[in-house]
Structure 1
Amino acid sequence: MNIKIINAKVKHIEECIEILQNSDMGRTYFTNREKAEVMLTNGILKTGVSVAIDENEKILGFIYYMPNGVFGSYPYLHIIAVKEEYRNLGIGKQMMKYFEENASDHISTKCFLTVDDFNPKAKKLYEGLGYQCVGILPDFYKKGTTCYIMMKEITRS
């Protein structure tokens, strides 16, 4: 699917909240609409949120990353979510590529993300993209949920 990824604007918040709340992560951590709105607003104002749009500028998903989110030095993917009816079309992979290419201005870096045990499809996707589990955090975000820290070394030419 042909998409374009652009910096999100405040006008995109409502659709991003809907996409987030209709994801496994959203149903677990962002059932409170206000919490989702505050988080996304902060991300957009700090230019850490981008949206994937089609040729009609319809929002298909979003990605929220922090260029120096890990140890103040390495890019961290905070959230990636694709609208339910557009999943399994390669949009998530395209957004991951965007993250890897744009999160750092260094030739070589390490990119990090976390994924929870209730989301094995996402973990498998990340592994397929070259991410490796480098740590396990039981009860990190939520009691009874294990969080996997994943890392990929990126070298650009």
Structure 2
Amino acid sequence: MTHADHPDAAEQVHTVLVYSPIIERRDAVRTAIGRRPAKDVGRIEWIDCSTYDEVIENVDRGGIALAILDGEAQPTGGMGLARQMKYELEDCPSALVVVAREADRWLATWALADAVLVYPVDPLTAGEVVAEQLRNRTAGVPVLR
């Protein structure tokens, strides 16, 4: 069954976590992606996290379709969080790491990120990347491990 064939895919609500200790970065990511990144993937319900502990608490609770992680965050960066989630969680959400430099894409790949975006986040690219991750999640495509 393809994503387009999935019943009610456009009506589904996806819980997406966005992590950065810097509120302006979280706001920029949410603004670039919006509440509905594509007509066929449904609506996004956002969970804002500013600390490592908040991310772990929310991911452990379950129900997160996608975690968007600030690769530049301090003291715990999004790359380390992505890698930790991949190794520790049985039902790991897709992980999208946002990096400051194009050259850092390889680090995000090493961290087992399913997707990578570069700051400043381009709304067209971000919407496409997030929609693809949500389609994959709906279709049951496994995340990187």
Does TM, scored on the shorter chain, surpass 0.5? no
The structure richer in helix per residue is 2
Larger Rg: 1
The structure richer in strand per residue is 1
TM range (shorter): 0.3 to 0.5
Higher relative contact order, chain-length normalized (CA < 8 Å, sep 6+): 2
